[in-house]
Amino acid sequence: MDNVFDLCDCDICNKNAQRIPLIGDVAPEFVANTTNGKIKFPDDFAGKWVIFFSHPADFTPVCTTEFIAFQNNLNEFEKINTALLGLSVGGLSSHLGWFDAISRMQNGVNITFPLIDDLNKNIANLYGMIQSGVSDTHAVRAVFIIDPNGIIRTVLYYPASLGRNMSEIWRILVALQTSDAFSVSVPANWTPGDNVLTPAPATASALREHDKKSPWFMNYKKLDKKEIYERICKKNAETK
């Protein structure tokens, strides 16, 4: 008897089944028109970390608050060598009209980072941003954090009703850069200046030297906030 859970191997199903890029994958390449001109991704962002985030459509309220928040935090992201790249399922004229509306709002801002024209949904589909079986684009709500080598390091998905948290995205970026620079891991709720985790002892002698106040597999190390920023800034300068 055939396994009822076997996937169909017909050409139609294979064509429609788009694999979502995963952590550790090379970011899929594309060329696109944006509100800042044509880009080739990820080549044009080589040497930088990238927050590549998507929206279901222009002129949506939650997305509007996010665009303002991303723009207001742009300088903080740039300090840690990070660029912003947005995608919305719409054309350039709609994007520019949305930007104009945002600039005219109370507490509005001028959006300076690029927003991709993806009216045909090619890039959204390439990155698995539209869930299969949906009738509209409102499942497009993703964040891909991509490192200077073009490798996907974090993938986040949000429902349409939930605005993204800039502090958490910033924390993820600093944590990833800290992990790379110091060869450590970071525990739950970590922020710069908190203890980090180093690898567990790999030899008997190292085990004997382990601090008995914590389990053998838990090795904490203090990292000063200033030391973290100095090291990641130096590492970022080397990748540019």
Q: Could you give the 3-state DSSP secondary structure of residue 111?
A: coil
Q: Strand 82-88 to strand 115-117: parallel, antiparallel, or no bridges (unpaired)? A: parallel
Distance CA 162, CA 27 (A): 25
Task: Classify residue 199 by burial, with Cβ atoms within 10 Å: 0-12, 13-18, 19+.
Answer: exposed
- CA dihedral (85, 88, 90, 94) positive or negative: negative
Would residue 63 show up in a list of annotated catalytic residues for this protein? yes
Structure tokens at 165: 């948290």
Strands (E), 80-224: 82-88, 115-117, 142-146, 152-157, 196-198, 219-221
Tell me which residue has tokens 């945002």: 102
Structure tokens at 163: 């605005």
Answer whether 80's CB lies under 8 Å from 148's CB.
no
Answer whether 111's CB lies under 8 Å from 99's CB.
yes
Other C-beta atoms closer than 10 Å to the C-beta of 115 total 24
Q: Which of 8, 10, 13, 63 is catalytic?
A: 63
Other C-beta atoms closer than 10 Å to the C-beta of 89 total 24
CA atoms within 13 A on the CB side of 97: 9
Catalytic residues, by residue number, are 63
